[in-house]
Structure 1
Amino acid sequence: MSRALPFALIPLAVACAPLAEVSTDPAPQAASGALFVAGKFGNTLAKVDLATGTRTALVASCANPHELATSPDNRHVALACYGGTTLDIFRTSDLAKVTSIELGNNARPHGIVWHGNGDLYATAEGRQSIFWIRDPLGQAETFEYGTGQRGTHMLVVAPDARHAWTTDLGSKTVTRVDLLTRRAPQSIEVGIEPEGISLAPDGETLWVSARGSNEAYMISPDDLAVRKSVSVGPFPLRIAVRPQGDFSVTSDLAGGSLTVIDVQTGEVARAIAVSSPQEAEQRQQVTILWSPDGQRIYVAETGTDTIAEVDFASGTVLRRLDGGDGGDGLAIIK
């Protein structure tokens, strides 16, 4: 693992790195906004200007940072410190750290959601729990909910913030947590090593990917009934529903591909080759993130320190961005 950098902005001459690779295919429309990348090997947080493709800032973060989430007003980005016990919050404008929220001994936070209500939610894998942080930039009141499951890793939160759902790698389960009444959590076994999880924009369907059984699952959020299982590419580490709610996509690490699922039929619509199967082991494709307009998918390639920008309509890799050492967690603002 690379040595952590001192907590300061790296000089611009170093931070503004060029694109790693650029496709000759024209982009459908100019990208805009900023992409944020957690570098889990270099212990860094990077900001990439999507209009130019340059990395404009790189700061030291906590140990082994993983998932990211941006605030509803796009002014802050929160980082789950998987190698520690905190959620750290930075300004999106200059990546200055503004606060750190302590979750307790052996927390190992991983999954994180900054909800439209302004509150933060995160898994604490080491405590087999999730946290609700009310007013994270103010009083930062923390409420902990045990899942009773091993490896509580990723999570999603309902639009009305009444429930959260987690994937629990060690227990091979999906768990539903009642955030308001604190009723006992419900869990069901789903495939082998379920890890990816995404909630449809209307809150009516959960999508889960199980990396050990190469399947995606359409699940009822209310009773956790599995409506359908779908065979996808090898080692589907993540799954993400398009903002329009029409497609769900898995990130297939071992194949270097994305599997596109039609959410209406529950059938595979197509596969997008981000890299070849021969390159897959080197690139180590992990986290995926939709652009807010649903036109692009950003794919973190941890092994090559790149972020592939994929045009969803054509399946073309438009360019590869430099996100720092071991880029994994991603977040975006317009």
Structure 2
Amino acid sequence: MSLTNQNPKEANNPAFYFTANEGGISKIDALTNKVFDSIKIEGTVHNVQISPDNKMIGITIVSGHGGHDGHGGHGAHEGHEAHGGHGAKNEKAAFYDAKTNELIKEVNGGAHPAHIVFTEDNQYAVVTNTGDNNVSVIDMKTYEVVQTISTGNGPHGLRISADSKIAYIANMNENTVSVIDLGEMKETKKIIVGDVPVTTGITKDGKTLVATLNSENSLAIVDVASEKVEKVKVGKGPAQVYIQSDDKYAWVANQGTSDNPSNSVTKVDLEARKVVATIEVGNGAHGIVTSKDNKFVYVTNMYDNTVSVIDIEKNEVITTVNVGENPNGITIQ
């Protein structure tokens, strides 16, 4: 790891967002929308998440170019599966200090680690292993894998309930979301959602689950109790989805493919179950997150190496930030 552009200003301005890139992480000042620093990492950083206390970031690292064009429908998601059987020695989760950018710990888990999410109580970090069809549960006190839990085929994006009890795993190579009980440390059921689910989201009350359906160009909205699924058409090749903190809107990044990229973000009203805005961003919109005050949306544009910053009230892009190569996941303090 090497660092650039160190600046004492950081101590006075702790608000940053981070993008997962090929070869490292970009750290962007959330007030100025300028790249403040970068962390160089060997391999491709597929996903990045901030811990609930904002003190560390967790990342997943895959070898070479793995995973960045993996959400373009059936052919591409099969590429994820093919990748999983090799290169595992260079694939891992890692944790960095969010303030100093220093490496805290690297953890070896399964093949082709995809997404990483912390429980809200900061007890665990959960990592999906696309190549092994399971998740690794990492104890955040010891940084050891304390359990490996089987999932469906091709586990990818996940979110964890606000009470830290349930993880919802999108299984890209089938049509389900695995429901993982983190108390019992096992998969309790699968919910059928639709074709090629890539990522999930769960409302604060735990009643509504969402999942992007890459091959259906739709967002599945699921009543958790009844497992009834409603589908809302979004843009082409949706990748990540993020539910803002008041649970009013779900934001969907529409990636498309490298040969036929999409360049939009879809704003879905979760109560009305309908699209209320479509916003043009950069090519290959992939990772997406909202600020905690629900004023801004940040989306990584993989094929433009940029982040679009959207004003939520105006439903328009207010600035574009150049970041690292092939930006994928994104997280904000």
Q: TM-score, normalised on structure 1?
A: 0.83
Structure 1 residues 146 and 295: alpha-carbon distance in aligned structure 2, compared to 1, 3 A threshold:
same
- Pairing 1:170-189 to 2, within 5 Å after superposition: 170-182=173-185, 184-189=187-192
Shift of 1:298: 0.3
Paired residue secondary structure (1:201)? coil
Partner of 1:22: none
- Pairing 1:1-334 to 2, within 5 Å after superposition: 7-10=1-4, 33-40=15-22, 43-83=23-63, 84-104=90-110, 107-118=111-122, 119-136=124-141, 138-147=142-151, 149-182=152-185, 184-222=187-225, 225-254=227-256, 255-275=262-282, 283-333=283-333
Deviations, residues 30-65 of structure 1 (Å, cap 9, x unaligned): x9811111112xx11121112222222112224221
CA distance in 2, matches of 1:175, 1:155: 9
Contact 2:287 2:300 in 1 (8 A): yes
CA distance in 1, matches of 2:250, 2:46: 22
Higher RCO (CA < 8 A, seq sep 6+)? 1
Paired residue secondary structure (1:240)? strand
Structure 1 residues 265 and 47: alpha-carbon distance in aligned structure 2, compared to 1, 3 A threshold:
same
Query: Which letter maps to 1:120?
Result: A
Structure 1 residues 187 and 273: alpha-carbon distance in aligned structure 2, compared to 1, 3 A threshold:
same
CA distance in 1, matches of 2:288, 2:186: 32
Structure 1 residues 256 and 163: alpha-carbon distance in aligned structure 2, compared to 1, 3 A threshold:
same
Shift of 1:219: 1.1
CA distance in 2, matches of 1:193, 1:150: 10
Q: Which runs of 5+ in 2 are unaligned?
A: 8-12, 64-89, 257-261
Partner of 2:85: none
Paired residue secondary structure (1:239)? strand
CA distance in 1, matches of 2:181, 2:120: 18
Paired residue secondary structure (1:319)? strand
Identity of aligned residues (%): 20
CA distance in 1, matches of 2:255, 2:193: 19
Give me the CA root mean square deviation.
2.0
Query: Which letter maps to 2:278?
Result: A
CA distance in 2, matches of 1:160, 1:102: 27
Structure 1 residues 291 and 183: alpha-carbon distance in aligned structure 2, compared to 1, 3 A threshold:
closer
CA distance in 1, matches of 2:279, 2:138: 37
Shift of 1:287: 0.7
CA distance in 2, matches of 1:62, 1:212: 31
CA distance in 1, matches of 2:176, 2:329: 22
Shift of 1:183: 5.1
Moved over 4 A (4+): none
Which structure: greater strand fraction?
A: 2
Partner of 1:20: none
CA distance in 2, matches of 1:299, 1:215: 18
Paired residue secondary structure (2:104)? strand
Aligned residues: 296
